[in-house]
């Protein structure tokens, strides 16, 4: 599946996670994602092409499609938080 391929790329889910709130500047997003500018530029371009992220005057933010993807992923995020409590990975 194309969607799973995109979401499985390094930092893609992290970017979507960080953008679930208010828009973020490139620099703030880079810091929040703990990644380098080259990789962030590549992922943002891919996520913009997939109509999940857009760049506005206020910074990067999720599109309506990106927001609905975030809502669909909420159960996974909840499961991951619970799972992390029971492992040494959390």
pLDDT digits (tens, 9 = 90+) for 14-34: 999 999 999 999 999 999 999
Average pLDDT, the chain: 92
Name the nearest CA neighbour of 67 among 16, 33, 26, 28.
Answer: 16
Does residue 81 sit within a domain?
A: yes
Distance of alpha carbon 53 from its chain centroid, rounded? 9
How many CB atoms are located within 10 Å of the residue 29 CB? 22
Does residue 12 sit within a domain?
A: yes
Does residue 90 sit within a domain?
A: no
Which residues fall within 8 angstroms of residue 20, CB to CB, at 6 or more apart? Answer: 62, 70
- Which residues constitute the domain of residue 23? 2-85
Query: For position 37, which CATH number holds?
Result: 1.10.10.10
- State how many domains the chain has: 1
């Amino acid at each position: 599946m194309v969607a799973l391929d995109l979401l499985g790329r390094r930092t893609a889910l992290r970017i979507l996670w960080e953008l679930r709130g208010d828009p973020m500047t490139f620099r703030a997003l880079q810091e929040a994602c703990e990644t380098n500018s080259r990789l962030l530029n590549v992922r943002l371009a891919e996520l913009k092409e997939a109509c999940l992220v857009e760049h506005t005057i206020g910074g990067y933010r999720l599109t309506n499609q990106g927001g609905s993807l975030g809502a669909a992923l909420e159960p996974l995020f909840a499961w991951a938080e619970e799972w992390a409590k029971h492992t040494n990975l959390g």
